[in-house]
């Protein structure tokens, strides 16, 4: 695995739950490039102010959903908010192994130690450890590293594991049975473990 594979498209933004539901519904129609472009730019289904922003968000979500099946997409597109949130978080963890590792190690450890919140140094220490595994991570610009940290914590907050990106108080999240079942069908017990942090 290269460091780019390890990062996935984490820098692309938070979970974008509503947008992810819309993209999942679009993907179920098996659009060709022309239909995709029409939905994203002409119809502006994501309701973004610029074509560039719409294309960027859509591309990020599409990459995150690249390895899931149609049943997963359908539940994401038409499920309730809690189910859809957990499914797009699961897809993001599949796409971004570094975030799954953060959940399994840092967030799980914080729970085991009965800590009430995460702090800024948690990601910093974790990042330094990852740089030893993937030295290329240490070559990223300071702005990229900062953005990755911001987005990682935002994803964890969007998924409900912390109350917000500032205070970072840990909260209980109970994995929906449907999410567990869909991940098991994909052979992704590793993601179930990460989400049970």
pLDDT by residue for the chain (197 residues), tens only, comes to 899 999 999 999 999 999 999 999 999 999 999 999 999 999 999 999 999 999 999 999 999 999 999 999 999 999 999 999 999 999 999 999 999 999 999 999 998 899 999 998 999 999 999 999 999 999 999 999 999 999 999 999 999 999 999 999 999 999 999 999 999 999 999 999 999 96
Burial class for 65, CB neighbours closer than 10 Å (0-12, 13-18, 19+): buried
What pLDDT is recorded for position 98?
Answer: 97
What pLDDT is recorded for position 197?
Answer: 67
What pLDDT is recorded for position 149?
Answer: 95
Residue 74 has a CB neighbour count (10 Å cut-off) of 14
- From 195, 132, 114, select the one nearest 160 (Cα to Cα): 195
Q: Can you give the residue ranges of every domain in the chain?
A: 12-195
What totals of helices (H) and strands (E) does the chain contain, helices first? Answer: 12, 0
User: Which residues are bridge partners to 162 per DSSP?
Assistant: 170
pTM: 0.95
Give the integer Cα–Cα distance in Å for 175 and 172. Answer: 10
CATH node for 12-195:
1.10.3540.10
Give the integer Cα–Cα distance in Å for 192 and 182. Answer: 10
What pLDDT is recorded for position 120?
Answer: 83
Collapsing DSSP to helix, strand or coil, 14 comes out as coil
Q: How far is CA 173 from CA 1, 41, 58, 121, 160, in A?
A: 30, 35, 27, 23, 7
What pLDDT is recorded for position 74?
Answer: 98
Which two tokens mark 192? 């179930």
What pLDDT is recorded for position 57?
Answer: 96
Give the integer Cα–Cα distance in Å for 106 and 120. Answer: 12
Q: Residue 74: how many CA atoms within 13 Å on its side-chain side? A: 5
Give the integer Cα–Cα distance in Å for 83 and 85. Answer: 5
């Amino acid at each position: 695995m290269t460091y780019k594979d390890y990062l996935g498209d984490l820098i692309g933004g938070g979970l974008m739950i509503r947008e992810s539901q819309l993209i999942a519904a679009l993907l179920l129609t098996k659009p060709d490039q022309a239909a995709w472009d029409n939905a994203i730019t002409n119809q502006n289904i994501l309701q973004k102010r610029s074509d560039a922003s719409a294309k960027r968000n859509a591309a990020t979500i599409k990459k995150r959903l690249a390895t899931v099946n149609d049943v997963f997409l359908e539940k994401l597109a038409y499920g309730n908010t809690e189910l859809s949130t957990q499914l797009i978080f699961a897809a993001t963890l599949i796409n971004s192994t570094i975030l799954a590792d953060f959940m399994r190690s840092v967030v799980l450890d914080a729970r085991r130690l009965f800590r009430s919140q995460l702090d800024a140094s948690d990601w910093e220490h974790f990042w330094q450890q990852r740089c030893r595994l993937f030295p290329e991570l240490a070559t990223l610009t300071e702005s990229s590293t900062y953005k990755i940290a911001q987005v990682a914590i935002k994803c964890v907050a969007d998924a409900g594991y912390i109350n917000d990106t500032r205070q970072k108080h840990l909260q209980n999240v109970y994995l929906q049975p449907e999410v567990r079942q869909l991940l098991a069908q994909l052979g992704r017990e590793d993601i179930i473990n990460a989400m049970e942090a």
